Amino acid sequence: MTRVGVVGAGMIGRDHVRRLTSVISRVTVTAVADVDAGAAALVAASTGAAVHPDGLAVIAAADVDAVVVCSWGDTHEEYVLAAIAAGKPVFCEKPLATSPQACLRIVEAEAARGTRLVQVGYMRRYDAAYRALKKVLDSGAIGAPLMMHCAHRNAAVPDFYRPENIITDTAVHEIDMVRWMFGTEITAVRVLRPRASRNAGAIPDPLLLVLELANEVLVDVEISVNARYGYDIRGEILGENGTAALGDQNPITVRRAGHLTSPVPADWRERFGPAYDVELREWVAGHMPDAPGAWDGYAASVVSDAAVQSLRTGERVPITLAARPKLH
Amino acid sequence: MTRVGVVGAGMIGRDHVRRLTSVISRVTVTAVADVDAGAAALVAASTGAAVHPDGLAVIAAADVDAVVVCSWGDTHEEYVLAAIAAGKPVFCEKPLATSPQACLRIVEAEAARGTRLVQVGYMRRYDAAYRALKKVLDSGAIGAPLMMHCAHRNAAVPDFYRPENIITDTAVHEIDMVRWMFGTEITAVRVLRPRASRNAGAIPDPLLLVLELANEVLVDVEISVNARYGYDIRGEILGENGTAALGDQNPITVRRAGHLTSPVPADWRERFGPAYDVELREWVAGHMPDAPGAWDGYAASVVSDAAVQSLRTGERVPITLAARPKLH
Amino acid sequence: MTRVGVVGAGMIGRDHVRRLTSVISRVTVTAVADVDAGAAALVAASTGAAVHPDGLAVIAAADVDAVVVCSWGDTHEEYVLAAIAAGKPVFCEKPLATSPQACLRIVEAEAARGTRLVQVGYMRRYDAAYRALKKVLDSGAIGAPLMMHCAHRNAAVPDFYRPENIITDTAVHEIDMVRWMFGTEITAVRVLRPRASRNAGAIPDPLLLVLELANEVLVDVEISVNARYGYDIRGEILGENGTAALGDQNPITVRRAGHLTSPVPADWRERFGPAYDVELREWVAGHMPDAPGAWDGYAASVVSDAAVQSLRTGERVPITLAARPKLH
Amino acid sequence: MTRVGVVGAGMIGRDHVRRLTSVISRVTVTAVADVDAGAAALVAASTGAAVHPDGLAVIAAADVDAVVVCSWGDTHEEYVLAAIAAGKPVFCEKPLATSPQACLRIVEAEAARGTRLVQVGYMRRYDAAYRALKKVLDSGAIGAPLMMHCAHRNAAVPDFYRPENIITDTAVHEIDMVRWMFGTEITAVRVLRPRASRNAGAIPDPLLLVLELANEVLVDVEISVNARYGYDIRGEILGENGTAALGDQNPITVRRAGHLTSPVPADWRERFGPAYDVELREWVAGHMPDAPGAWDGYAASVVSDAAVQSLRTGERVPITLAARPKLH
Ligand SMILES: [Mg+2]
Ligand SMILES: [Mg+2]
Ligand SMILES: [Mg+2]
Ligand SMILES: [Mg+2]
């Protein structure tokens, strides 16, 4: 039984607590902290976890084997570094930290410690369809990859969204997925602005990201965050000898009034709910091979920063990463 | 340039005239007759064809090389026999004649003449999807056939429909298709009555036909003639090693308001329009190999009669055919 | 934490133990018995459960709150009755018992006790696609149901399969699904024999079951147990105003060498794995509303018996059930 | 009966002759010329057309009502101008002429004449799926358009292909389609080079074209000319409230050996054959509203030139068109 301490008991934190207690076996939540005492109390009431004064106390607690960090992004660096210092595995919701420099400090601290302890909450890697897609790619069935076409569409986004959130909160999932899918780094990014949707208020939506990879594969990614009609995730890889694409997963098909119809998922919970379950289940079980680690959190941060810059200037932005530690 | 005489200038007749004059090349309509002089005059005006006093005069005309019979079913026997006697190819809209006995007289007259002259208007054999299905079956890719599941759904049918029309006007297309698909005869038929749709008024709709073939393949066919939502034709063959099915042919896919939708055809014109064109084009060109001939018209008539009997009694009805002439 | 005792530690039993310990939270396996001491020891080793001399001892154990019965079918009646007598919830793998009479004794024992304690392992009711289908049907979107077309195809079945197993082990899932989908009883069954697959050895495969329901809906079910190409489950309901069907759930689509291809599931584990998880999760959580209970086990047994009789005689077999207790 | 003169009897010319004589009614081929006397003789033999010494003689012939130009691109300008001078409708295979300047001379000559006489062979406008897509867009069902994603994949291309042919022979179909679909002009183009396929020899393949439209819609177009697996045409429009996409048109679906498969078209003949038929049929019938005219040929030429420039430089190239004559 793994004993988990949870730092941050907001919406995402409570959802992870629900998952740890109601969905995944062999794990228990023993400690919790939140700046909002009421939120922490809610978790304590549903789990029997002890409420601690702050995240550092949770990480230090003797009955905590592993840590889940779901607090505000600005606090991630401090908590993740503390977990590394304590030698405890830490699952940190994205972003790993709020600047490439902070991410790099985590990468270096973990490398200095000599063991992989950090996992970042990029859950595409745990989705059955993306895994099947990667398996086909890796099998060589479609030959060497040349391009990938992606789309990420949200029906709507929260009011707080500003232009850079389209990159850092939404597109970042595609950025991580692409690095994982092709096993290589992104070397340049360009953000193009189509006609803006009037559903989007003041933010430029949709966007088209063009990512260049170290292996010369070119990836285009449509990001729409006010698509209205539903949540829709697409991806197709063009290889030298064929293509592989995420399929439509239609549980049912209705024919009525002159049309055949299937439901489109309403939001990410419906589309990726099982992937979130797998993500935490594999983390609890200690499977690390494909897990997004500190280096992945760092790389995502650098590419996101470059994309935000390109969104502002309209120019192509080349990307340079620090030297990759042997640990990764 | 083939010169065609048209007997019967009602809705179907005029549609064939349109096809012969506007869609198909190397053919011209030179003669027409109808009990309704106005209908014949319409065709004459649009084509330059001569109006004849009756169908026999059309068939006898010196400037008529081949005959299209679209008059009422009761008159088919007389006209088809006249065309055979005149040695002229005749395309007869279904049914070939209104009784098995009448059909058999045509089969025998044609056999006596020693040349295939008769084609019946079963146009499934000319549909690209059914042809692709048959090609897969014949290739052996799915192994020996064991079953076929079919559905034939009309959004609505004309007011004149009585229970037996569901068999003789609608299901008969499936009956002919099955004989052609498997290259064998139907040996027994049973008609089952599910709960009746309140959209169907006084007729029993839908029905489930169970057809037994000489090669022991079992075929079930749903016939719905008030399906409301559109026109829908399905067919799936189960073979020993796999299945082959008619696909969905969706020209476009729209995602809107939480759903992915594609159009369903409104009626047989939309679904089978191209098959009607191919049917007449191949007839004009003289391609006979896969064409439904007099024997097929006879067999369809016998099976239809048996199905009507089963619809009345609820019992399985075995089928016996006359000896098949060498010509077929 | 629910403490579960497991009676029968064969392949299915061990799979349920894995589910209870590795997939589902808030449950622990505390007791186990099997006629094969080695099988019981395996479960004990992986879970810490105590090995008991027999199933009755498991059911009686003080640290057992609820019972899972996965022993041979012949023993189900004894164990389920013992669990009812002990007032403990019991999840019994299908069949509930091996005769309608035995099932009815369980129904009556439970009714006498006055509480629902029995759940039978019909897991279609827990599959997301079937639930979505039922939701559409119940919404009235397609109007009153008239027919349902089903297919159940296994790539292959174990060597022990005899003709009646096609009904009692395979078709029985469809029988239970149909009763649940339409909320009514099956009143007659007929089993038709198409041409037999040479892949099937001595057993008649495929079969076509025709089920008549109390609400006059007619259901046809193809059962193939040597379909070779994969595991395939289909279902389409024809309503007065439209149709609803289980969709294709293709995680990926590959285009290669002139074809577009998607994977077909290899077996029931791949297709229904999540449904088995939901089934046990809801059982542990005590959700009973849609759960298949003792009455459902009884009805399935009666219909299966009738279908086996029809398979032998080729005749339609009417079905009569005992009076339904108020508890159900 | 329209009497058509054909200038150029190569592969495309003979295919159009076949279409005019075997597929389309109410038209006859009366005159032909080709620099290769044998090619012209072939057409004469199959149609009864008179062989003329050159294209100008065909255009001038008294028994020629309308002209089809299928000669080498370099000669198009001369023949199209001659047809305009003769006041005869002319269908000119793409390109209209081999430079923007030449195209503009044709535009101006036609404008001076005051009647629309010129049609260019861009046949996407005649494809049923593209027409359905445009109809949905124009209906407002998906709201104002924001982006379009396209792919054009050939299994292979002829040996003569050089880098610019990917633009001028292949991508040009997409360029014309986009202008027609959105009813507006392209204002800038950028061509990006992904990793090159080793199937493509020395040419850069695939390419990604990014087109900016006057209404701010952004269009990305993948062009692959050695995709190996088949011929594949995709298009999806993102609107403010939904999306509309070309569907998969699968005549049949086969399940075999663990996979569901459908055929992919082998080449443009299979995918767009019916569109070519409709194109010429509507031209013969004199339907002009949606037909690609001289202005469309000119605009395609300007955009193609800009794309070729971008392919060479990697830079975004803005596009400026001449003033549009009132005639268009
Ligand atoms: Mg996330
Ligand atoms: Mg017909
Ligand atoms: Mg089961
Ligand atoms: Mg062309």
**pLDDT tens column, B141-178:** 999 999 999 999 999 999 899 999 999 999 999 999 99
> Which chain D residue has its CA at the smallest distance from B284's CA?
D22
- pLDDT band at residue C255 under the 50/70/90 scheme: very high
pLDDT at C288 over 80: no
Distance between CA atoms of residues D311 and D316, nearest Å = 9
Judged by CB atoms closer than 8 Å, whether chains meet at C229 and D255 is answered as: yes
Lowest mean pLDDT among B182-186, C221-225, C269-273, D212-216: C269-273
Residue in C243, C245, C251 closest to A132 by CB? C251
> Ligand 2 centroid to B269 CA: how many Å?
10
Our CA dihedral for D300, A218, A231, A95, rounded to 10 degrees, sits at: -140
Q: Examine domains B2-120 and B124-318 and report if their fold is the same.
A: no
Segments of A154-256 assigned E as strands: 186-192, 207-213, 218-224, 232-239, 242-246, 252-256
- pLDDT average, residue stretch B278-297: 92
Nearest ligand to residue A273 Cα: 1
Domain range summary for chain B, segments of one domain joined by +: 2-120, 124-318
> Which chain C residue has its CA at the smallest distance from A262's CA?
C247
pLDDT at B249 over 90: no
Q: Could you give the 3-state DSSP secondary structure of residue B297?
A: helix
Residue in B232, B255, B260 closest to A255 by CB? B232
> Ligand 4 centroid to D282 CA: how many Å?
15
pLDDT at D288 over 80: no
Nearest ligand to residue C272 Cα: 3
- HSE, side-chain direction, 13 A CA sphere, residue A194: 29
B252 touches chain A (CB under 8 A): no
C146 touches chain A (CB under 8 A): no
> Ligand 1 centroid to A124 CA: how many Å?
8
- Per-residue confidence (pLDDT) for residue B26, from 0 to 100: 87
| C157-210 per-position pLDDT tens digit | 998 999 999 999 999 999 999 999 999 999 999 999 999 999 999 899 999 999
Contacting residues for C160 by C-beta, under 8 A, at least 6 apart? none
B247 touches chain A (CB under 8 A): no
Name the residues around ion ligand 3, CB cutoff 5 A: C 121
- Per-residue confidence (pLDDT) for residue C1, from 0 to 100: 86
Nearest ligand to residue A124 Cα: 1
Tell me the chain C residues in contact with residue B228 when contact means C-beta distances shorter than 8 Å: 143, 240-242
Judged by CB atoms closer than 8 Å, whether chains meet at A250 and B260 is answered as: yes
- Smallest CA–CA separation between D64 and chain B, in Å? 19
The CATH number fitting domain D124-276+287-318, selected from 1.10.10.10, 1.10.3720.10, 3.30.360.10, 3.90.1200.10: 3.30.360.10
CATH class of C124-318: alpha beta
A41 touches chain C (CB under 8 A): no
> Ligand 4 centroid to D130 CA: how many Å?
15
- Asked if residues D154 and D286 have their Cβ atoms less than 8 Å apart, the reply is no
Pairing of strands C317-318, D2-7: unpaired
Nearest ligand to residue D12 Cα: 4
Residue in C230, C258, C262 closest to D264 by CB? C258
Q: Would you give the DSSP letter of residue D249?
A: B
- Per-residue confidence (pLDDT) for residue A287, from 0 to 100: 82
> Which chain D residue has its CA at the smallest distance from A238's CA?
D227
| Average confidence score pLDDT of chain B | 96
Distance between CA atoms of residues D224 and A239, nearest Å = 10
Distance between CA atoms of residues C95 and C75, nearest Å = 11
Judged by CB atoms closer than 8 Å, whether chains meet at D260 and C255 is answered as: no
Which of C187, C191, C205, C218 has the most B C-beta neighbours within 10 Å, making it the best mutation to test the interface with B? C218
| C91-107 per-position pLDDT tens digit | 999 999 999 999 999 99
Chains in contact with B, where contact requires at least 3 CB pairs less than 8 Å apart? A, C, D
C252 touches chain D (CB under 8 A): no
- Per-residue confidence (pLDDT) for residue D166, from 0 to 100: 97
Q: Which two tokens stand for residue D177?
A: 């389609």
pLDDT at D304 over 80: yes
* Size (chain C), residues: 328
- Per-residue confidence (pLDDT) for residue B328, from 0 to 100: 80
Whole-angstrom CA distances from A180 to A119, B155, B165 are 14, 50, 62
A22 touches chain C (CB under 8 A): yes
- pLDDT band at residue B248 under the 50/70/90 scheme: confident
Chains in contact with C, where contact requires at least 3 CB pairs less than 8 Å apart? A, B, D
Q: Would you give the DSSP letter of residue B9?
A: -
Segments of chain D assigned E as strands: 2-7, 27-33, 50-51, 66-69, 90-92, 118-120, 145-153, 186-192, 207-213, 218-224, 232-239, 242-246, 252-256, 259-263, 317-318
A77 touches chain D (CB under 8 A): no
Fold that domain C2-120 belongs to in CATH: Rossmann fold (3.40.50)
Q: CA nearest B223: which of B241, B238, B203, B242?
A: B203
- Asked if residues D192 and A192 have their Cβ atoms less than 8 Å apart, the reply is no
| DSSP characters over B202-224 | TS--SEEEEEEETTS-EEEEEEE
Q: Which two tokens stand for residue C58?
A: 């498991």
Chains in contact with A, where contact requires at least 3 CB pairs less than 8 Å apart? B, C, D
A316 touches chain D (CB under 8 A): no
> Which chain D residue has its CA at the smallest distance from B257's CA?
D242
Q: CA nearest B124: which of B67, B170, B191?
A: B170
Residue in D255, D258, D263 closest to C259 by CB? D263
Judged by CB atoms closer than 8 Å, whether chains meet at C256 and D229 is answered as: yes
Stretches where chain A sits below pLDDT 50 are none
Distance between CA atoms of residues B287 and B125, nearest Å = 13
Q: Could you give the 3-state DSSP secondary structure of residue C56?
A: helix
Quickly count: other Cβ atoms within 10 Å of residue A252's Cβ.
Answer: 24
| A181-229 per-position pLDDT tens digit | 999 999 999 999 999 999 999 899 999 999 999 999 999 999 999 999 9
- The three state secondary structure string of C30-43 is EEEECCCHHHHHHH
